Amino acid sequence: MRLVIDFQGSKNKSNNVLTASNPDWKYTIATGILVVAMVVPQLSDWVESQQFVKYLQTRVGSLPKTTGASISRIAFPTVANAPVTSGFGWRQHPITGERKFHTGIDFAASLGAPIYATDAGIVEFAGEKGGYGNTVIVKHTSVSTLYGHASKLYVTTGQRVARGQMIAAVGSTGMSTGPHLHFEVRVNDKPQNPRPYLQHTAANSYSPRMRAFLATIRWAETGTSGSLSYRKLVFNGTFNDFSTHPRIKQCAPINGKRVCSTAAGAYQMLDKSWYDLQPKLNLTNFSPASQDKMAVEYIRRNQAIADVEAGNLDAALQKLARVWASMPYNNYNQNAKTLEQWRTYYQQQLAYRG
């Protein structure tokens, strides 16, 4: 049985939140029986066939809005487009073979892939947690999120984290058949279906041509267009704290000269770029989504949006050459990619994203 439920219930007209002072007896009975079915799997098929569940499904979604709980859409917890391999609800456990209620959703991802905090909060738990393996739990008021089976943890209990901050790496610890992220949303410590509240990073709202262009910038600037690019420092090393620009100055010889820079992230933004764009774009952190927004803003400022959207790569690169040293037509003399290299990689990305 896999119930798709929308817990809306009776709503207080002033704040659209279900409250004890505004009860709905059908809602209360239906949800109560559903909770029993979650504990006793033998009842699940019978429960799903009953009229009160059909009533519940007309009244409810996937997250209960309990008194004091407020859940908005949350950022994606791992690499974009990671496939869901196991959903929220009843299933046959892949290891024990038992019929059990799966309290989260599983995302397939490669070993070591990043795990991101879906929203700002405080780390309530970071460590080994039985079948979950290495686990991080982040508290966001009455809502918390859980990230299980990690190979590495990058945060500690009590630490404050930002939305989009890398908090762990995908693994296969605990009761697991292979590398994946087990992700949960809990309201007042009760697991809820996270799916309706997930959204991919901001870059996924851009057109295929813009996404391909951004990916090509990331590759040209950092050597990779993947999630690791968002953590790259200018010359060597990476950073894990996305709460703000890392503001780390590194120096290295380039073409016989000692060059120092604070460039960081997928688009190698300087700290002064952060100081400029952060207030203007109302950025709350230096997360991948924020880095994408900064890059698009520079494309807009240099009047290259129309060229990118039209697929006019040569014109866009000419306008943006003074922004990114990896582009042809620039005067930085810092080992720029050739126009042919840009075209080849861009076309590959466009074919993948289009």
- Residues carrying CATH 2.70.70.10, the chain: 84-197
Lowest mean pLDDT among 45-59, 155-169, 213-227, 257-271: 45-59
List the beta bridge partners of residue 106: 86, 182
Highest-confidence range of 29-38, 73-82, 309-318, by mean pLDDT? 309-318
DSSP 17-81: ---TTS--HHHHHHHHHHHHHHH-GGGHHHHHHSHHHHHHHHH--SS---TT-----B--SSSTT
| pLDDT for residue 67 | 32
What average pLDDT does range 237-247 have in this prediction?
91
CATH number of 202-353: 1.10.530.10
Does the pLDDT at position 71 exceed 80? Answer: no
- Residues carrying CATH 1.10.530.10, the chain: 202-353
Higher pLDDT, 156 or 189: 156
CATH number of 84-197: 2.70.70.10
How does residue 74 score in pLDDT terms, banded at 50, 70 and 90?
A: low
CA angle 191, 141, 108 (to 5 degrees): 45
How does residue 44 score in pLDDT terms, banded at 50, 70 and 90?
A: very low
What average pLDDT does range 129-148 have in this prediction?
94
Residue 339 — φ and ψ, nearest 5°?
A: -60, -40
What single-letter amino acid sits at 3? Answer: L
How does residue 159 score in pLDDT terms, banded at 50, 70 and 90?
A: very high
